[in-house]
């Protein structure tokens, strides 16, 4: 039998990694609640059309990365590669159009078949927010300020290596004008484009700007910028966002080639990048998606949101675990274990972490207590059984005292 291990691109979480994971998700949830967002949970798999219709056939997710399968009933299902499309589906299928605006946050696993590397796995986890039903720039500011506040509380602005990049990809009219300019620019250069970008040139030229191919990147440097194609409505929306961010003292950088990789985005898009984690530097990203719900068969209802990869945030966060040291209970006398069990239960009942160490001689038991990180040890010997008092030893100072159970529990609390 071959060695049993987790599938490639997945990982197990435990010990300090699990504590860091919980810390990040708990912080995100608290900040989202402070901004008036409530939690939503959707299935980890959806009908494949939910993602094929919305993410775009030429996106890397749909063309290369989706975990798609046929169930026993013949239905095509897909493990969710991202959260927004499933939440839009939930909004439509639950008939929530009369409840707008809806402000939701979510947290859970996502799945993409791609080459595992630092900060990128095949099963990964995202936290995100969606604000559905508000079109004006203030809703963009709502989700961006939430993300900034979250990352700042996480400590990612302490070193000065986290930057918010923004751009506007405009409305449908603006993108139509820009599309033609890109076609005119890239067509004579088609032979130099990567195979993926050659396909994108025919189907969705804007996606070329999102290419990670080194040859494409050189050609993109001299390509037309979207800002020159924005109509007055798109420019006004974008200017209001920039002015509001400046007023709120939220630093940002404009990136004219930032387009995001999915078909449903429009108007303002944004990414936070952190230079600590190498090539996969984007730690949080999002934007506006005014036509997504209509694309999925619902009414014309706008939305805006973002998502962050927890694994990448774990790489960039300086979180250190602050676990409470347990009390080591050491029953040494014959028949002292039941007393130790009772004491352990009573301490835990009072929210005092406690562990029984019941094997080995006295020296080995104290070594185990030290390995646990215990600050105190309670020794139960013959004298303690007779007197119904306990020997409490401060392991950091080497001092000890004899104390009854009631006072013992109160002192440890």
Task: Write phi, then psi, for 117 (nearest 5 degrees).
Answer: -155, 180
Q: What angle, 0 to 180 degrees and rounded to 10, lies between the N-to-C axes of helices 172-186 and 195-203?
A: 130
Residue 301 CB neighbours (<10 A): 22
The whole-number pLDDT of residue 52 equals 87
Q: Cα 93 from chain centroid? A: 25
Nearby residues of 100 by Cβ (< 8 Å), 6 or more positions away? 132, 133, 134, 301
Mean pLDDT of 315-340: 86
Host H or E run for residue 78: strand 76-79
Could you report the per-residue pLDDT of 91-150, keeping only the tens digit for each? 999 999 999 999 999 999 999 998 888 878 999 999 999 999 999 999 999 999 999 999
CA atoms of 91 and 33, how far apart (whole Å): 20
pLDDT band at 262 (very low <50, low <70, confident <90, very high): low
Could you report the per-residue pLDDT of 66-86, keeping only the tens digit for each? 999 999 999 999 999 999 999
Cβ–Cβ under 8 Å, residues 337 and 384: no
* Percent of the chain with pLDDT strictly greater than 90: 65
Q: Is 72 helix (H, G, I), strand (E, B) or coil?
A: coil
Q: Which of 134, 124, 145 is nearest to 82 (CA)?
A: 124
Could you report the per-residue pLDDT of 27-54, keeping only the tens digit for each? 999 999 999 999 999 999 999 999 987 7
Mean pLDDT of 221-228: 87
pLDDT band at 1 (very low <50, low <70, confident <90, very high): very low
Beta-ladder partners of 401: 392
Cα dihedral sign, 141-146-315-11: negative
Least confident residue range of 51-60, 188-197, 234-243, 312-321: 51-60
Cβ–Cβ under 8 Å, residues 269 and 98: no
Domains of the chain by start residue, with CATH: 15-171+231-316 (3.30.930.10), 327-412 (3.40.50.800)
Cβ–Cβ under 8 Å, residues 132 and 301: yes
Could you report the per-residue pLDDT of 366-379, keeping only the tens digit for each? 999 999 889 999 99
The pTM (predicted TM-score) of the whole model is 0.85
Q: Is 339 helix (H, G, I), strand (E, B) or coil?
A: helix
Beta-ladder partners of 167: 269
Q: Which of 254, 198, 199, 192 is nearest to 225 (CA)?
A: 254
CA atoms of 123 and 26, how far apart (whole Å): 20
Cβ–Cβ under 8 Å, residues 386 and 402: no
Host H or E run for residue 102: strand 102-111
The whole-number pLDDT of residue 155 equals 93
Could you report the per-residue pLDDT of 379-389, keeping only the tens digit for each? 998 888 888 88
Nearby residues of 49 by Cβ (< 8 Å), 6 or more positions away? 76
Nearby residues of 21 by Cβ (< 8 Å), 6 or more positions away? 13, 125, 310, 314
Question: Which one-letter DSSP state was computed for residue 246?
Answer: H
Least confident residue range of 2-6, 121-125, 198-202, 300-304: 2-6
Cis amide prior to 101 (ω within 30 degrees): yes
Q: Which of 25, 316, 31 is nearest to 161 (CA)?
A: 316
């Amino acid at each position: 039998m071959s060695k049993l291990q987790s599938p490639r691109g997945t990982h197990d979480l435990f010990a300090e990694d699990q504590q860091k994971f919980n810390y990040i998700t708990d912080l995100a949830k608290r900040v989202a609640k402070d901004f008036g967002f409530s939690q939503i949970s959707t299935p980890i798999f959806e009908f494949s059309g939910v993602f094929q219709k919305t993410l775009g056939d030429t996106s890397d997710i749909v063309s290369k990365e989706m975990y798609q399968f046929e169930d026993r009933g013949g239905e095509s299902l897909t493990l969710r590669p991202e959260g927004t499309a499933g939440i839009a589906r939930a909004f439509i299928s639950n008939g929530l159009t009369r409840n707008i605006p809806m402000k939701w946050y979510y947290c859970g696993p996502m799945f993409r078949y791609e080459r595992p590397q630092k900060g990128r796995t095949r099963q990964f986890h995202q936290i995100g927010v969606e604000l559905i039903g508000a079109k004006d720039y203030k809703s963009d500011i709502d989700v961006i300020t939430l993300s900034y506040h979250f990352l700042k509380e996480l400590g990612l602005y302490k070193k000065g290596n986290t930057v918010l990049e923004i751009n506007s990809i405009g409305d449908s009219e603006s993108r139509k004008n820009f599309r033609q300019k890109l076609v005119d620019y890239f067509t004579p250069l088609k032979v130099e484009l990567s195979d993926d970008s050659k396909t994108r040139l025919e189907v969705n030229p804007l996606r070329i700007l999102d290419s990670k191919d080194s040859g494409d990147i050189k050609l993109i440097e001299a390509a037309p910028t979207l800002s020159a194609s924005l109509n007055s409505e798109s420019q006004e929306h974008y200017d209001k966002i920039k002015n509001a961010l400046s007023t709120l003292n939220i630093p940002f950088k404009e990136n004219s080639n930032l387009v995001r990789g999915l078909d449903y985005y429009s108007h303002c898009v944004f990414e936070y990048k952190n230079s600590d984690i190498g090539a996969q530097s984007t730690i949080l990203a999002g934007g506006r998606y005014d036509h997504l719900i209509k694309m999925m068969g619902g009414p014309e209802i706008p939305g805006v949101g973002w998502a962050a990869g927890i694994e990448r945030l774990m790489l960039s966060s300086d979180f250190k675990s602050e676990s409470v040291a347990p009390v080591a209970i050491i029953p040494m006398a014959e028949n002292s274990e039941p007393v130790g069990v009772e004491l352990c239960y009573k301490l835990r009942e009072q929210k005092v972490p406690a562990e029984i160490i019941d094997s080995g001689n006295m020296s080995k038991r104290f070594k185990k207590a030290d390995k646990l990180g215990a600050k105190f040890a309670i020794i139960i010997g013959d004298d303690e059984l007779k007197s119904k008092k306990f020997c409490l030893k401060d392991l950091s100072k080497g001092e000890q005292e004899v104390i009854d159970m009631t006072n013992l529990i109160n002192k440890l609390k």
